Amino acid sequence: MLEDWIYFLLPRIFCGLAFTVNPIFVYLVFTEKQAKFGNYRFLLLFFAIFNLIYSVLSVIVPIDIHSYRYCYFLITRNGWFVQRSTFNFHMMSARCSLVGASYAILLIHFIYRYLAIHNSDLTRNKFHWYMLFSIFTCVLYFGAWQALHICYFLEKANMEIREYIRQDFRLIYGNDSMNFNIIGALFNEGSDETRIKAFSSVLLSTSVSAVSIIMFLVLAITIVTQLKKMTRNASKKTSKFQFELLRALFVQTVIPIVISFSPCLLIWYSPVFGIQLPRGFNHFEISALGLFAFVDPVAITLSLPIFRKRMFSFCRQSTNAGKSSLHRGTQ
């Protein structure tokens, strides 16, 4: 019953929430005065579309994570793409690669904010070039995660890994590890080639994530410094709104780092030290990876005063209208 919740019901609940929250978020953005957000609206739309794609893929390609001694592995759990095949493997790796692509989404937002406060033409008259750059960056991150190292070349489970986890796999899943698409890494008790691939994949994936986060921090510090200089010349209202947008971007960044990057670190590094995470923790990791697609837009909405006021005003009006209807009905 618990596993039905984790791998069947929760992804659908998260997807339903994402398809509820993100359109509301887009509506708030595009019904606000154009001068407020400018072309940034389209980046936020891009962000919302990414969230919806992520949510749909989480439903149709539900993954499971497990660790055994010095090995961790991922499989597709239920659904249309469980059977071992090249196409199904690429679907599973695409599902994993979207986590990496989320860093690209955040990076293009930080770069836009940096360009905007420097009054770059790329944020105004040549914004179409910036959108092309944004799409290219996302494709690059996604492709690197899927094709170049993390999934296919270094972490596609070989026969040695399948044999290593075979007994535990049968105990946990009641099936043979030879019949499933598996992304995995074995850090000890294996051949030199398998261990080198495992450490290479973890170091590469950690490096991509860490470099992205460092870039976020560098851009954020630069933006804050520039905004402080802007307050001397720009109007108080303009500089305040820029700070609010940056604060919302911080929130937008912290959430995936906490609920996506942190679980990934535990997945990658606990087997290095022979730490086998309990199944309950694996369930938590899977749940956390599906959260940000609807949590992030909610957090951004609540962190921007212009949206927060509109939402609270709408809730008050709905409550008052409900009370008035109830009062008329009792008369």
Which range (14-18, 88-92, 151-155) has the least confidence? 151-155
Pairing mode of beta strands 63-68, 182-186: unpaired
Mean of pLDDT values over 287-308: 77
Residue 19 has pLDDT above 80, yes or no: yes
Domains, in order of start, for the chain: 1-308 (1.20.1070.10)
The larger pLDDT score, comparing residue 325 to residue 33, is at: 33
Q: What is the pLDDT of residue 234?
A: 60
> Which residue is it, tokens 């991150």?
141
pLDDT value at position 149?
47
Q: Tens of pLDDT along 194-248?
A: 888 888 888 887 888 888 888 888 888 887 777 777 666 666 666 677 677 777 7
Within a 10 A sphere around the Cβ of 281, how many other Cβ atoms? 16
Amino acid found at 318: S
Give the closest residue to 110 by CA, choosing from 43, 57, 49.
43
**Alpha-helical runs (H) found in the chain:** 2-4, 10-31, 34-37, 40-60, 86-117, 127-143, 159-173, 192-233, 236-256, 262-269, 279-289, 292-303, 305-330
∠ CA 260-88-212, rounded to 5°: 30
Q: Which amino acid is at 76?
A: T
Q: How far apart are CA 284 and CA 270, in angstroms?
A: 15
Across 19-37, average pLDDT? 83
- φ/ψ of 38, rounded to 5, equals 60, -140
What residue has token string 């698409």?
181
Q: Would the pLDDT of 152 be above 60?
A: no
Choice among 49-58, 152-161, 178-187 with the minimum mean pLDDT: 152-161
Where do we find the tokens 């560098």? Answer: 218
Range in 69-73, 141-145, 174-178, 308-312 the model is least confident about: 308-312
Give the least confident one: 102-106, 211-215, 237-241, 278-282. Answer: 237-241
pLDDT at 132: 92
Q: What's the whole-model pTM score?
A: 0.82
Q: Give mean pLDDT, residues 239-268.
A: 74
Query: How many degrees, rounded to 5, is the angle at CA 219 between CA 217 and CA 225?
Result: 100
Average pLDDT, the chain: 79
Q: Flag whether pLDDT at 254 surpasses 70.
A: yes
Residue ranges of the alpha helices (H) in 118-189?
A: 127-143, 159-173
Question: How is 205-226 classified by DSSP, letter by letter?
Answer: HHHHHHHHHHHHHHHHHHHHHH
Strand, coil or helix: what is 182? strand
At 276, is the pLDDT very low, low, confident or very high (cuts 50, 70, 90)? confident
